[in-house]
């Protein structure tokens, strides 16, 4: 077996066994920590599709993370206060059903990604980075000034939303939901990367002109990848808001974009499970360094700097080598 495959399975196994152990040992805090890691991993899997496979350096994925969060917050808020969202032209009630919230988060994120992507992809390179950042900031300021849904203070909901047949307030059951979603997303992205679309996308990243000469339109492929990428990150946002039972403009903040990017980079760009390793590592660092110093971001910054300067390829690059070089 290739080392990358071994690493993949041991990561997934670890994320399966660790919460189970925490559950048996009655450590709900550790389960919540693992849930955070898994949700961050889903967000990273989303970004990785655009960044790793499509080469689109989006510095604005907090936009979709936040949209997912607000989709959850707004729907649940209306359901819990029994105020319909719209009364005209027809009545739309809020909901506390997770599947409906997820679908809404995915749909809204995909729709916004379509608009933002269509505009941003007219440019490339450094312009693209700055424009995606700016669009995310636009939603950040909008969320702050939108007082109907809490403005700067955000929106909290009292009870976690419902999933048929499960008690979502039980940490291990909510973890199970997130874990299964992560597996589904990983499988989806894995299949996508092996499909003709995924291969063509990789080709476009490496040489746009040749792909164009083959009669394909890179713009359309990038846009498709960007939309799917945004939708997955949006789903992660809905889960994250449900985990905290709270959503605030911070989810739109550009530090969030940076952190999602860090998950991808720490793990290894362009590896299917890279974001999973990165998110787990990030949570591990946050937990262990956060205990050492209140100013743990200094160490995070130093580690990130070290990875960028000296260990490109992240954790996967260090352990599995560059045998499946993507570029």
Site of interaction with another protein (CB under 8 A): 51, 57, 59, 119, 122-123, 125-127, 129-131, 133-135, 137-138, 141-142, 144-148, 254, 258, 261-262, 265, 269, 295-298, 300-302, 304-305, 308-309, 312
- Output 210 or 312, the one with its CB closest to another protein: 312
**Nearest to another protein of 103, 130 (CB atom):** 130
Q: Kindly state the smallest distance separating residue 254's Cβ from another protein, in Å.
A: 7
Q: How far is the CB of 289 from another protein (least distance, A)?
A: 11
Considering the complex, state which of residue 85 and residue 134 has its C-beta at the smaller distance from another protein: 134
In whole angstroms, how close is the CB of 59 to another protein at the nearest point?
Answer: 6
Q: CB of 58: closest distance to another protein in angstroms? A: 10
Q: Min. distance of Cβ 144 from another protein in angstroms?
A: 7
Whether the CB-CB separation of 245 and 79 falls below 8 Å is answered with no
Contact 186, 276 (CB under 8 A): yes
Q: How far is the CB of 184 from another protein (least distance, A)?
A: 28
Which CB sits closer to another protein, 59 or 163? Answer: 59
Closer residue to another protein in complex, CB, 81/123: 123
Distance of alpha carbon 88 from its chain centroid, rounded?
34
**Shortest distance (Å) from residue 261 CB to another protein:** 7
Rounded least distance, CB 312 to another protein, Å: 7
CA distances from 241 to 133, 186, 248, 326 (A): 21, 21, 9, 34
- Contact between 155 and 74 under an 8 Å Cβ cutoff? The reply is yes
Nearer to another protein, 110 or 264 (CB): 264
**Nearer of residues 40 and 102 to another protein, judged by Cβ:** 40
Nearest to another protein of 91, 126 (CB atom)? 126
């Amino acid at each position: 077996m290739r080392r990358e495959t071994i690493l993949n399975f041991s990561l997934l196994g670890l994320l399966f066994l660790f919460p189970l152990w925490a559950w048996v040992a009655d450590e709900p805090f550790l389960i919540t920590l693992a849930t955070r890691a898994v949700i961050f991993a889903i967000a990273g899997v989303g970004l990785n599709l655009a960044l790793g496979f499509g080469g689109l350096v989006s510095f604005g994925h907090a936009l979709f993370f936040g949209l997912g969060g607000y989709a959850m917050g707004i729907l649940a808020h209306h359901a819990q206060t029994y105020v319909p969202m719209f009364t005209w032209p027809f009545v739309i009630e809020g909901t506390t059903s997770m599947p409906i919230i997820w679908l809404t988060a995915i749909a809204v994120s995909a729709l916004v990604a379509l608009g933002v992507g269509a505009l941003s992809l007219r440019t490339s390179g450094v312009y693209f980075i700055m424009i995606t950042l700016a669009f995310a900031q636009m939603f950040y300021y909008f969320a702050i000034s939108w007082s109907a849904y809490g403005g700067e203070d955000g929106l909290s909901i009292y009870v976690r939303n419902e999933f048929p047949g499960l008690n979502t307030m039980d940490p291990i059951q909510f973890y199970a939901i997130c874990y299964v979603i992560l597996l589904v997303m990983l499988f989806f992205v894995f299949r996508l990367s092996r499909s003709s679309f995924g291969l063509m996308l990789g080709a476009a990243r490496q040489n746009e002109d040749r792909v164009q000469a083959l009669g394909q339109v890179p713009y359309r492929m990038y846009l498709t990848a960007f939309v799917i990428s945004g939708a997955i990150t949006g789903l992660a946002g809905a889960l994250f808001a449900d985990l905290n039972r709270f959503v605030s403009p911070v989810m739109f903040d550009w530090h969030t974009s940076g952190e999602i990017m860090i998950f991808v980079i720490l793990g290894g760009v362009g590896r299917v499970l890279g974001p999973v390793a990165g998110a787990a590592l990030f949570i591990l660092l946050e937990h262990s360094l956060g205990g050492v110093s209140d100013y743990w971001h200094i160490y995070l910054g130093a580690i990130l700097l070290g990875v960028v300067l000296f260990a490109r390829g992240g954790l996967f690059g260090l352990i599995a080598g560059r045998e499946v070089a993507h570029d």
